[in-house]
A = this chain, B = another copy of it.
Amino acid sequence: MTRVEAEGLIAHDVLAVVLRMTPSSPEVLLWQRAREPHDGRWALPGGRLGATEDVEASVRRHLAEKVDLGEVAHVEQLSVFSDPHRGPAPRRVATAFLGLVPSDADPAVPGDTAWHPVDALPETAFDHGTITTAGLDRLRAKLSYTNIGFALAPEIFSISELRGLYAAALGHRVSATNLQRVLTRRGVLVPTGSTAAPGPSGGRPAALFRFSERSLRVTDPFATLRPPDRDC
Q: Of B12, B82, B83, B170, which one neighbours A10 at CB under 8 angstroms?
A: B12
Extra contacts besides A7-B11, A8-B48, A51-B84 (6): CB < 8 Å: A4-B4, A10-B12, A144-B224, A144-B225, A166-B225, A182-B225
Taking a contact as CB atoms under 8 Å apart, the answer to whether A5 and B84 are in contact is no
Instruction: Report if A136 contacts B (CB, 8 A).
Output: no
Question: In chain A, residues 158-176, which have Cβ atoms closer than 8 Å to a Cβ of chain B?
Answer: 166, 170-175
Decide if A201 is an interface residue (CB 8 Å cutoff).
no
Which residue on B lies nearest to A178, using beta carbons?
Answer: B225
- Cβ A179 vs Cβ B228 within 8 A: no
Instruction: Please report A residues at the B interface, Cβ cutoff 8 Å.
Output: 1, 4-5, 7-12, 48-55, 77, 79-80, 82-84, 91, 93, 95, 141, 143-145, 166, 170-175, 178-179, 182, 221-225, 227-228, 232
Contact of A144 with B223 at beta-carbon distance under 8 Å, contacts A4-B4, A228-B175 already known = yes
Instruction: Please judge, given known A-B contacts A51-B91, A172-B227, A228-B173, whether A12 and B4 are in contact too, CB under 8 Å.
Output: no
Partner of A51, one of B1, B79, B221: B1
CA distance A141 to B141 in the complex (A): 14
The distance from the CB of A115 to the nearest CB of chain B, in whole angstroms, is 25
The 4 closest A-B pairs by CB, nearest first: A172-B227, A9-B9, A54-B82, A55-B82
Task: Identify 19 residue pairs between A and B in the complex whose beta-carbon atoms are under 8 Å apart, listed by A's number.
Answer: A8-B11, A8-B49, A9-B9, A9-B10, A9-B11, A10-B10, A10-B11, A12-B12, A51-B84, A55-B93, A80-B80, A80-B95, A144-B223, A144-B225, A172-B228, A173-B227, A173-B228, A179-B225, A182-B224
Q: A145-B224, A171-B232, A228-B175 are in contact. Are A49 and B9 (CB under 8 A)?
A: no
Q: Measured between C-beta atoms, what is the minimum distance from A209 to chain B in Å?
A: 16
Residue of B nearest to A90 (CB): B9
Residue among A5, A54, A77, A221 with the highest chain B CB neighbour number at 10 A: A54
The closest CB in chain B to the CB of A1 belongs to: B51
CB nearest neighbor in B for A227? B172
Q: Quick check: A222 and B145 within 8 Å, CB to CB?
A: yes
Complex CA distance for A82 and B7, rounded to whole angstroms: 19
